[in-house]
């Protein structure tokens, strides 16, 4: 099977423009009438739904930011009543509060459709055995891919993340053909396989759908070689729908955006101006079929570019380049989105530390590790070593409970972390992307 839905994936540009325009107009009406924040934002700009007539009018619309979701936490941006919402997911916000997204039954249907397209473009069909090792839960990775896999009639193995030896055992015994997880986890699995003496020839694995974090071409080569598979990059974000927003095909030259559901733009992150095709900038999405939480011009903070040329695979949808970075300080550690500000607020809850800290992120044996250095205050410094160790433990536990990631915490002497005269440098990321 080459495409899941050729009528949408291979549509002519004219047809796509017509469809997007109709859907955009409907979405603008929906949010104007159902979401007070959008009505206010549009009124501030002096525009009404009737002003949006063509795709070119998209640029008149206001941007949406992660903070808008936070400020209206939890349901303020929902455009459907809770009685119509059948699923809720959430991801990290810039502070303690997560950003919450809701799906109507139709949204779940759309999501299954776009993740089905994703899996098919990685070579899946109804004979595939798809091992979903993305986390299940509030994170969109696990359930998003799960529904797409069921939609195409493949057999899903909903193992979720973690328990690596068991993952490998199951992969071997069940004859998994497609692995879905973060690229760093795939590499870690390859390593554990080698330790267990399991060879790639012992597996039936053919492809992997890897995403949720940034990864390089070198990393792709390594995964492909060590697991003997084709590694496909898949992209998405909870606010827009989850995985399924865009995906590579076997040509591996950009990720096809599911344009009949999401309109991408590339903007200059400083001025907000729309940039021409091919320019690098911040990726912005407008959802045009979602009911639960439709978003206009959502600022992803991800850096990419757009290519409208037809792809060799036959799909006509625009391709975004592999995400090459972010315009903000969000880190993705073992697939979990983490803002330094969230760590800071945990640190500040403890009376015996000073607000000077450094986050050191590295990749050891293909796994992301986080080390937090934080200055202790004078009083703790003059205490016994035992007390300092207890504080480190307390902080580590609090970080794990609040952010869901493990970290090594090191309390350092007062005034040892370099002070800055401008923007504080709080993160040292030693990972190579």
CB of 331 to ligand DLL, least distance (A): 10
Window 210-229: residues binding ligand DLL (CB under 6 A)? 211-214
309: how many CB neighbours lie within 10 A of its CB? 12
CB of 44 to ligand DLL, least distance (A): 26
Contact pick of 62, 98, 123, 236 for ligand DLL (by CB under 6 A): 236
The binding track of 316-345 with respect to ligand DLL, each residue x by CB under 6 A or -, is -------x--x-----x----x--------
Q: Of 97 and 326, which has the nearer Cβ to ligand DLL?
A: 326
Contact pick of 242, 254, 281, 340 for ligand DLL (by CB under 6 A): 242
Q: Of 20 and 91, which has the nearer Cβ to ligand DLL?
A: 91
What's the per-residue H, E or C state across the chain? CCCCCHHHHCCCHHHHHHHHHHHHHHHHHHHHHHCHHHHHHHHHCCCCHHHCCCHHHHHHCCCECHHHHHHCCCCCCCCCCHHHEEEEEEECCCCCCCEEEEEEHHHHHHHHHHHHHHHHHCCCCCCCEEEECCCCCCCHHHHHHHHHHHHCCCEEECCCCCCHHHHHHHHHHHCCCEEEECHHHHHHHHHHHHHHCCCHHHCCCCEEEEECCCCCHHHHHHHHHHHCCEEEEEEEECCCCEEEEEEECCCCCCEEECCCCEEEEEECCCCCCECCCCCCEEEEEEECCCCCCCCCCEEEEEEECEECCCCCCCCCCCEECCCCEECCCCEEECCEEECHHHHHHHHHCCCCEEEEEEEEEEEECCEEEEEEEEEECHHHHCCCHHHHHHHHHHHHHHHHHHHCCCCEEEEECCCCCCCCCCCCCCEEECCCC
Residue with tokens 């202790």: 376
Query: Rule CB under 6 A: is residue 147 a binding residue for ligand DLL?
Result: no
Q: Of 20 and 214, which has the nearer Cβ to ligand DLL?
A: 214
CB of 7 to ligand DLL, least distance (A): 25
CB of 201 to ligand DLL, least distance (A): 28
Query: Rule CB under 6 A: is residue 248 a binding residue for ligand DLL?
Result: no
Window 75-104: residues binding ligand DLL (CB under 6 A)? 91
Q: Of 207 and 354, which has the nearer Cβ to ligand DLL?
A: 207
Window 122-141: residues binding ligand DLL (CB under 6 A)? 134, 139-141
Query: Rule CB under 6 A: is residue 237 a binding residue for ligand DLL?
Result: yes
Q: Of 386 and 432, which has the nearer Cβ to ligand DLL?
A: 432
Q: Of 61 and 283, which has the nearer Cβ to ligand DLL?
A: 283
* Residue with the shortest CB distance to ligand DLL: 211
Q: Of 91 and 164, which has the nearer Cβ to ligand DLL?
A: 91
Residue from 193, 266, 267, 195 nearest 223 by CA: 193
CB of 344 to ligand DLL, least distance (A): 20
Residue range at the interface with ligand DLL (CB under 6 A); choices 61-69, 209-217, 258-266, 420-428: 209-217
Burial of 82 (0-12, 13-18, 19+ CB in 10 A): exposed
Q: Of 34 and 327, which has the nearer Cβ to ligand DLL?
A: 327
Q: Of 32 and 285, which has the nearer Cβ to ligand DLL?
A: 285
CB of 137 to ligand DLL, least distance (A): 11
CB of 307 to ligand DLL, least distance (A): 16
Q: Which residues bind ligand DLL (CB under 6 A)?
A: 91, 134, 139-141, 211-214, 233-238, 242-243, 300, 302, 323, 326, 332, 337
């Amino acid at each position: 099977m080459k495409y899941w839905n050729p009528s949408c994936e291979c549509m002519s540009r004219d047809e796509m423009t017509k469809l997007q325009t109709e859907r955009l107009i409907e979405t603008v009406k929906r949010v104007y009438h159902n979401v007070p924040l959008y009505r206010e934002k549009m009124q501030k700009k002096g525009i009404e739904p009737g002003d949006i007539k063509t795709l070119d009018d998209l640029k008149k619309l206001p941007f949406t930011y992660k903070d808008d979701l936070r400020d209206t936490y939890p349901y303020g941006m929902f455009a459907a009543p809770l009685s119509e919402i059948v699923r809720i997911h959430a991801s990290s916000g810039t502070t303690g509060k997560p950003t919450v997204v809701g799906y109507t039954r139709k949204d779940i249907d759309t999501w299954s459709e776009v993740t089905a397209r994703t899996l098919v473009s990685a070579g899946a069909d109804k004979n595939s055995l798809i091992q979903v090792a993305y986390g299940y839960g509030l994170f969109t990775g696990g359930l998003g891919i799960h529904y797409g896999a069921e939609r195409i009639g493949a057999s899903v193995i909903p193992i979720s993340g973690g328990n690596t030896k068991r993952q490998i055992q199951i992969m071997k015994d069940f004859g998994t053909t497609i692995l879905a997880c973060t690229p760093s986890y795939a590499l870690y699995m390859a390593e554990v396989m080698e330790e267990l003496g399991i060879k790639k020839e012992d597996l039936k694995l053919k492809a992997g759908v890897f995403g949720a974090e940034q990864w390089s071409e070198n990393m792709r080569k390594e995964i492909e070689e060590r697991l003997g598979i084709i590694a496909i990059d898949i992209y998405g974000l909870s606010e827009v729908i989850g995985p399924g927003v865009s995906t590579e095909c076997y040509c591996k030259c950009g990720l096809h955006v599911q344009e009949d559901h999401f309109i991408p733009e590339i903007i200059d992150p400083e001025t907000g101006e729309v940039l021409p095709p091919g320019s690098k900038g911040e990726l912005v999405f407008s959802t045009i079929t979602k009911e639960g939480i439709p978003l206009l011009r959502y600022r992803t903070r991800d850096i990419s570019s757009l290519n409208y040329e037809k792809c060799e695979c036959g799909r006509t949808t625009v391709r975004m380049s592999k995400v090459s970075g972010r315009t903000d300080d969000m880190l993705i550690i073992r697939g979990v989105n983490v803002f330094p500000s969230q760590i800071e607020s945990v640190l500040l809850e403890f009376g015996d530390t000073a607000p000077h800290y450094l986050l050191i992120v590295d990749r050891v044996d293909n796994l992301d590790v986080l080390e937090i250095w934080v200055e202790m205050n004078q009083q703790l410094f003059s205490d016994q070593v035992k007390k300092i160790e207890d504080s480190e433990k307390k902080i580590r536990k609090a970080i794990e409970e609040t952010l869901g990631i493990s970290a090594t915490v090191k309390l350092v002497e007062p005034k040892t972390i370099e002070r800055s005269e401008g923007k504080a440098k709080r993160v040292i990321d030693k990972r190579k992307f």
